[in-house]
Structures are given as C-alpha cells and as structure tokens.
A and B are shown apart, each in its own frame.
Chain A
Amino acid sequence: GEDVEQSLFLSVREGDSSVINCTYTDSSSTYLYWYKQEPGAGLQLLTYIFSNMDMKQDQRLTVLLNKKDKHLSLRIADTQTGDSAIYFCAEPYKAAGNKLTFGGGTRVLVKP
C-alpha cells in the first residue's frame, strides 16, 4: 500500500540546521520529492532525488535517501525565517499514473 509518514512539527532557531524526516512504502519509486507550502500559498517544488542516489545537495538543501529503510530526510542549513512553512515529502505511485502520495506535512517554525 501507499503510506508516507512525517513528523508533525519542528521548531528551530534562525541560523541553525533543520532536519525533516519522512518514511515511505513504495520501493519502486523512481523519484522522491519535497514540496514547500507557505501560509495561504500553493505547493512549491523544493527539490527531488532519484532513487539511485543516496544524497543530493542543492545550495542550503541536502536530501538524504536510505532505500533500505525507506527513509528520506531534508536538511536545511542556516535556516532563515523565510523557511517557516509546511514541508511535504511525496512519493509517486507508478501503478496509478504516477499520482503523488503525500505525507501529512511537517510544520517548521523558525524562531529569531
């Protein structure tokens, strides 16, 4: 079945690193995604990782993938107040037209 789990809430001080964790179930996924949703806004594609990679770095963002444990994480270095948002990990489900199954979202609050 399809199930994506995330922790609900993360509070971090400005300048520190944030780590958001996610577990997924479909081991055949080619990609795994991170989306960001700011208050009252839509879903912004933040980054993604190919399933044959262990790590991807994109400026302040680092994605780590542990396929054995089906665990995905997103690290935000030097977290800024503008990073306060809800972060969703998402897994495409190939058997259903690549529809995305989302985790419940992790609300990140950055304190000055």
Chain B
Amino acid sequence: DSGVTQTPKHLITATGQRVTLRCSPRSGDLSVYWYQQSLDQGLQFLIQYYNGEERAKGNILERFSAQQFPDLHSELNLSSLELGDSALYFCASSARLAGETQYFGPGTRLLVL
C-alpha cells in the first residue's frame, strides 16, 4: 500500500459525459501528479500540482482539467468524453516539488461506451 488513495476504482460512462476522479496523496506530500495509461499511448504524464498550484502540464487535453484543494487532495475532471478516453488514470504524490520519489495510487479504470 503506497498511501495514495484514488476513487472510484472503476467508472463506466457514456460518450459526451463528464466525470471526476479523486486522489488523496500520502500524508504530508504536497505534490500530486496525474498520469494516463492507455494501450496505444502507454503511460503519459498529464498534469502536476504542488501545494494547490499547477506546476507542470503534459499532454493533457483541453477537455480535461484538474485542481488541488487546500487539504491537498486533487480531482481530475474529464468532460465531453470520447471512446478514446477509456484508460487507467493514476495519481501519484511526492513530498516536495521536485527530486522526490513518486508513489502511485491504485488507479481509476475509466470505460467510455
């Protein structure tokens, strides 16, 4: 158990819908990362937050957004869902901004029908 929690574990929805994925980092970790794992793209970095502020952005679609709240939990919002958004979404946390090992949550498996 890494100490990072993600909910829900599974999500099935339809195209065009919007979903919210939630992540709670390890106790004391300030930095949260979101990654997407799909069959065709592999593991891709989406976005990073540190102590409530966005710090780095990867290949994140404009339909996707994230935020980190004062209690340090983070949410990833996916809207106007398409079939190709079906993937495993991971959250990871680390203690500081950079140079720290990232610990991953169990992931949320999203299926868009």
A contacts, CB < 8 Å to B? 30-31, 33, 35, 41-45, 48, 88, 92, 94, 96-102, 104-105
Contacts and interface: CB of A to CB of B under 8 A. Distances in A.
B95 to A, nearest CB: 11
B106 A97 contact: no
Interface stretch (B43-51, B66-74, B76-84): B43-51
B42 A45 contact: no
Contacts of B50: 97
B28 interface: no
B103 A99 contact: no
A72 to B, nearest CB: 16
Contacts, number: 66
A41 B37 CA distance: 12
Interface residues of B, number: 26
A104 B100 contact: no
A35 B104 contact: yes
Contacts of B106: 41-42
A101 to B, nearest CB: 7
A104 B42 contact: yes
A84 to B, nearest CB: 19
Contacts of B105: 42
